[in-house]
Amino acid sequence: MILAAAIVAASLAAPQAVAQDAQGVTEGGLSVTGQSVITARFVDENGWPVPGIEATLFDREIAADSLWGDNLDSVQRTAITDKNGRFTFQVAVIASADPGAWYSNLNTVSLVYWDTSAVFDDLPATEEITVQAGKNQDLGTYRLRSTAKRGRAASSIKTSSKKKVKKAYRKRYAAQVRAEKMPKVMGCRVAATSAGTRKRTLSAVNFMRAMAGVGSVTFTKKLNSAASQAARVQFSNGYLSHFPIDKRCKSSLGATASSSSNLSMGAIGAANIAQYMDDFGENNYAVGHRRWILDPQQKTMGVGFAGSYGALYVMAPGSENNTTPATIAWPTPGYFPVELEPDGRWSFHYTRSDLDFSKATVKVSAVGKAKRARIIYRSGSTYGTGGTSILGHTWGLSFTVPKSIRRVKGRATTSVKVTVSGVSVRGAYKIAPVTYTVKLFKAGK
């Protein structure tokens, strides 16, 4: 296929066999000698059919009053892949009585494929097809990629190993938590957040990301400075806002950085990151702070504190080429420190935007008890319900797990089985249920 560079809008509809001139039509030495059917199918890297791919056929038809006076007109036909990912065209085969005519290559048509949701890197793409009377052509199955590199990042923690999770938790998170010094605010100036505080905060961020299977990030000087100013604005105003008015100091940097940062009040340093990951409160059903920290596209962040106020800059330009897992759950599948269990506010997200969660359900079970989890938020894009904003480049569900299901006694391990059902691709193809198990245990000393 040849890559093109355009996207057009279309609604989801069943594909149709699009017919043109009937056999026997003649005009100016041209005649229709038969028909040919062209069909193909699109699936993704999971083998799921992809509805809603637009196939545009650049065709030709016999016409007495053609634009160029040669009895041949160009026409454009469109079909949309159905719930099975398939489209079909019926094309007329045309013959010329004059083999020397400039249009003697009558039976080569062009197909252009577009993804109206802009999910797949492989599209747009084009190809040319030569048709023959009475010979149908199944072009086969085209496999599309929703991300450049699918999988867990090399820096991931092996969550199937209790020993490795415990070691990483103690070294990379628990040992980093301490009473941090609060940077002083002096008028419109804020003291620098110490290098030690930033180092310990970064360790916590990357521990969370490694548990989820996404790559590590670094803090940059520029983003640290912006985060400090965002924290200073929150301190000056005395409340948290992503769109603050800095009446006192008129800092455009602080106000702008606030809209690109996780904001908090209270915990400083590594403990602050656990606070974001818990994402408690009625305003945080979407667990947006958590999702930004676990954003698979992110490479750089920044952190700054002002008094007890904090800002974690999370919306720097990222890369779609980062290694990206298909799903991101929190708590993560496998062994998980109960010390970081987010008080029942669990989440499960896919890293692609064209899935429909409107009919999704979540069931949880442990120690002989099974319950349907209460879904508190459904995200999505055009095909989903609930919020439509891009939070950490993930789309899915937040749900509440009852305390009786997730309780850990002593040094025992509580295995919580989670089953997510009812998710569909673009509202058409229903995905098989996803089941994973979270093994909660006390990882601290």
One-letter-per-residue 3-state SS of 245-261: CCCCCCCHHHHHHHCCE
pLDDT at position 72, please?
59
Q: Where are the beta strands (DSSP E) in 277-344?
A: 300-306, 309-313, 323-324, 327-330, 334-337
Beta carbons within 10 angstroms of residue 57's beta carbon = 20
- Alpha carbons within 13 A on the beta-carbon side of 238: 2
Rounded-to-5 percentages of helix, strand, coil across the chain = 20, 35, 45
Q: Is the peptide bond before 124 cis (omega within 30 degrees of 0)?
A: yes
The dihedrals phi and psi of 416, each to the nearest 5 degrees, come to -110, 115
Tokens of 136: 């149908």
pLDDT at position 272, please?
97
Closest CA relative to residue 294, chosen from 217, 370, 366, 192? 217
pLDDT at position 15, please?
38
Strand order in the sheet with 300-306: 218-219, 300-306, 309-313, 261-265
Beta carbons within 10 angstroms of residue 186's beta carbon = 8
Pairing type for strands 327-330 and 429-430 reads unpaired
Tokens of 25: 């039509």
CATH superfamily of 162-441: CAP (3.40.33.10)
Ranges of CATH 3.40.33.10 domains, the chain: 162-441
Q: Say if CB 148 and CB 47 are below 8 A apart.
A: no
CATH 2.60.40.10 is right for the domain spanning 25-143: yes
Tokens of 396: 């899915």
pTM above 0.95, yes or no: no
pLDDT at position 8, please?
24
pLDDT at position 416, please?
97
Pairing type for strands 53-62 and 108-115 reads antiparallel
User: With a cut of 50, which residues of the chain have pLDDT below it?
Assistant: 1-27, 64, 66-69, 102, 381-388
Ranges of CATH 2.60.40.10 domains, the chain: 25-143
- Alpha carbons within 13 A on the beta-carbon side of 427: 13
pLDDT at position 291, please?
97
